[in-house]
Amino acid sequence: MQKSLPYFFGYIIVMIGKINSMKKYLFVGYLVAALIFAQSCSRKTTPTKASEEELEAKKVTVVKPPPPIKTPVPKSIVVNDKAATKTVQGRYYYDLEGKRYWRNKNDGKYYLYFKGMFDKPEFQ
């Protein structure tokens, strides 16, 4: 078996010499790819068993962040009309922490939006 291996490689070298130059590069490329593929398939790895000390060192305690504090949303606020924004229809509104407050024409306070608000005459 060992004597036949050098003869095999010698035979391949002789065959490469007989091929045209362009086909030679292609043949050598295929040969190298086949050898790399054969070498990579023969490589087997198995992970080593970790000791208990290493496992304990890798354990990380997960600390949950505290839940965010929710601020209470007031139903009505008092805002200067200069700070409020005026719409095309002439209504005033004020945005506070992502909530929109609309001005009541009777008392001048700004109330949190609710369904049916604009059906009432004091908000039109």
Predicted pLDDT of residue 11:
73
Q: Which of 115, 48, 124 is nearest to 91 (CA)?
A: 124
Asked whether the predicted pLDDT for residue 59 surpasses 80, the reply is: no
Long-range contacts of 91-98 (CB under 8 A, 24+ apart): 91/123, 91/124, 97/71, 97/73
Predicted pLDDT of residue 1:
47
**pLDDT tens per residue across span 6-30:** 666 677 777 766 666 667 777 788 8
Q: Which of 96, 107, 103 is nearest to 117 (CA)?
A: 103
C-alpha–C-alpha distance, residues 42 and 85, integer Å: 74
